[in-house]
Structure 1
Amino acid sequence: MTASTHFFLRRVAATLAGLALAGSAMAQAFPTKPVTLMVPYPAGGPSDSVARSLNNTLGKHLGQSVVVENLGGATGGIAAQKVLAAPSDGYMVFQGSPNELILSPLANLAVKFKSEDFRLVQMIESTHIALVTRPDLPANNADELLAYARKQAAAGKPITYASVGPGSFYHLLGEHLSKVTGIPMVHVPYKGAAPANQDLLGSRVDIFLAPYGKNYEEFHKQGKLKVLAMLNRERMEGVKEYPAISESQSLKDFTFNTWSGLFVKKDTPEPVVQALHKAMSETLGDAQVRANLEANSRVPAKPQSLAAVSKVYTDGTAQYRAIAKSIDLKPQ
């Protein structure tokens, strides 16, 4: 080995060691200021409730406060793009789901990012999907709803279904319901679950395939709306009072749920990602956080490795793109 080669190798080794030390220092330093948790829907909705169930505990494990910011619109795309426009330093993280990060880019021409622009740091929860109707809709189960919808469509007055925006998971569910039953239905998009629920309570929209929250339980008991079924294969803990969709005659296989997780920009430094992953994993182990999520009818996630959650996101991207293709979803 020549002297110049030996010198070059020593320089490379020193550089790599320096990078390792810098990464370690970055992990130890992060965060040195408050972290923003971006929620892509207005305050008061189900996603906001999830964020406020865990932000204080996440802040405790990070050693800095975690501030919730709400920004609705474009099926979560506006909030996602704001995160992408921020520095890749982990100080603005995204509470997202397939709804905003996989489906929104497929449906909205204004959304310019790809699913691959984000990285999943840790799962947060999975969510039951409820088949909810306006209070005065003349149906008390899924089969009666379809009979009513078929009658209305034949009369040229198709029923309406709410979603949280074009290309959202709930839009796809509505389109998929229309397709598998052969019953025309009209899509009514909103900027979030909260305004959709307002119109449902006011009987201005007929149905909502919605993320289930405890508010529905109260509204159902008070007769302000109807929860006809949960899109589950069987009655599950926390929502056993409602029929599983598999108990219907017409929609036995119409079973779906969704999930949310903590995301960062894909080029966020690895030490920062690891720090966020560790803090979120510890947060999920907190009994009060789990109780808060369960109180909102969420199923708290079990902490997984970064490799495992990366596979969840990759597999989910493929699955939801396939559903979008099956209903011929076009960006508009």
Structure 2
Amino acid sequence: MKKIFGLAMAGWAALMMIAGSAQATTFPAQPLRLIVPFGAGGITDLVARLLAQQLGKELDQTVIVENRAGAGGMIAAQAAQNAKADGYTVFMGTVGTQVVNPLLASKINYDPHAFVPIGMVTGSPYVLAVRSDLGTETYAQLVSHARQEPGLLNFGSAGVGSSPHLGIELFKLTEKLDVRHIPFKSGGEAVSAVVGRHADMVMDAIPVIMPQVKAGKLHALVLADSQRSPAAPDVPSSAELGAPELRISSWNVLLAPPGTPPQIVAVLETALQKTLADPQLKAHLEQQGSQVYTGTQDEYQHFIAAERSKWQRIVQTADISLE
């Protein structure tokens, strides 16, 4: 009886391997859905749309971007986690969805650790910018202005707990300032609010901020990085200005729902790496100020652990909460 059972189990395992191999061979047989946790116009959306176009070419299928804004990315993350684990739904994870949300709320409606990492995508350092009529032309002038009138200035962000929000909180902690927060649904909306003079300052990635700077609608005061970026050569780095601790970047990681078969993940990972190696895509991203990230799943886990340690300190010090 044991022998028969063992043979049956071996046969079942062999069938599963064959089925998995066949599934990977035929995948993808239909369009894919890429869920983005923020609205149109922000850095995550911009990167997702560039990625979707080239990834679709590699997979020989259409990749449809689906924006699901709200609740600091938790609405999108829950939808992605609950999606069928067949490879046809993927998720653009961010520092907010994968690191910050669990630090801000005692209960969240998804498990950031449950997703299957396909690979890192990009990172982009943040620029602090102000409305063009604020009267501050330099970082030092902005700091002086904020200190002279505590609580008067305000900033827009992509929402409570978003990386643009945390970027300004880091700025406030670095310079010991009192600046009020106005949350919006996306980074694009926050930038538009500052351009429209409904908010005083905003912090977001280079591709989001610099077009408005070049149009004369915003003044870029500092790049939150250790050195200047070729995409914003006239913007001084925080290290240059004596604030080396002011460093923040937006990053994105492509994830699959929990339980996605390894064979399918392997197909997606190969397509992603080929996509990110495409010279035209890489040049386009770098021209915008986004840096292509690559790495193994182990490297991803180390990266996440370091980010969690960093932002836990900032969240606790700034006393930020989603509740």
Same fold (TM over 0.5): yes
**1:280-319 alignment to 2 at 5 Å?**
280-302=272-294, 304-319=295-310
SS at match of 1:276: helix
- CA shift digits 1:225-262 (9 cap, x unpaired): 1000100112233222210111214x232122231111
Amino acid at match of 2:100: L
Amino acid at match of 2:257: K
1:113, 1:321 → 2: CA distance?
Answer: 19
1:71, 1:195 → 2: CA distance?
Answer: 15
Match of 1:328 among 298, 301, 319: 319
**1:54-65 alignment to 2 at 5 Å?**
54-65=51-62
> Aligned pair 1:245/2:242, yes or no?
no
Decide whether the 8 Å contact of 1:277 with 1:306 is kept in 2. no
SS at match of 2:239: helix
> Aligned pair 1:211/2:208, yes or no?
no
Amino acid at match of 2:172: S
1:221, 1:40 → 2: CA distance?
Answer: 27
**1:121-270 alignment to 2 at 5 Å?**
121-153=118-150, 157-213=151-207, 216-249=209-242, 251-270=243-262
**Which position in structure 2 is the counterpart of 1:85?**
82
Amino acid at match of 1:68: V
Kindly state the Cα deviation for residue 151 of structure 1 after the two structures are TM-superposed: 0.8
- CA shift digits 1:59-90 (9 cap, x unpaired): 12222211111221112222222212321222
1:208, 1:144 → 2: CA distance?
Answer: 16
Task: Show structure 1 runs of 5+ residues with no match.
Answer: none
**Which position in structure 1 is the counterpart of 2:92?**
95
**Which position in structure 1 is the counterpart of 2:266?**
274
Task: Show structure 2 runs of 5+ residues with no match.
Answer: none
Kindly state the Cα deviation for residue 134 of structure 1 after the two structures are TM-superposed: 0.9
Amino acid at match of 2:40: A
Percent of aligned positions with the same letter in both sequences? 29
Kindly state the Cα deviation for residue 132 of structure 1 after the two structures are TM-superposed: 0.8
Kindly state the Cα deviation for residue 97 of structure 1 after the two structures are TM-superposed: 0.9
SS at match of 2:291: strand
1:12, 1:268 → 2: CA distance?
Answer: 22
Decide whether the 8 Å contact of 2:118 with 2:256 is kept in 1. yes
Amino acid at match of 2:22: A
Kindly state the Cα deviation for residue 314 of structure 1 after the two structures are TM-superposed: 4.2
2:197, 2:186 → 1: CA distance?
Answer: 17
1:132, 1:246 → 2: CA distance?
Answer: 17
Deviates more, 1:110-119 or 1:224-233: 110-119
**Which position in structure 2 is the counterpart of 1:11?**
8
Q: CA RMSD in A?
A: 2.1
Kindly state the Cα deviation for residue 195 of structure 1 after the two structures are TM-superposed: 0.8
> Aligned pair 1:68/2:60, yes or no?
no
Decide whether the 8 Å contact of 1:116 with 1:266 is kept in 2. no
2:314, 2:9 → 1: CA distance?
Answer: 48
Inter-CA distance 17–319: structure 2 relative to 1 (3 Å threshold):
farther
Decide whether the 8 Å contact of 2:127 with 2:209 is kept in 1. no
Inter-CA distance 48–331: structure 2 relative to 1 (3 Å threshold):
closer
Kindly state the Cα deviation for residue 318 of structure 1 after the two structures are TM-superposed: 4.2
TM-score w.r.t. the length of structure 1 is 0.90
**Which position in structure 2 is the counterpart of 1:45?**
42
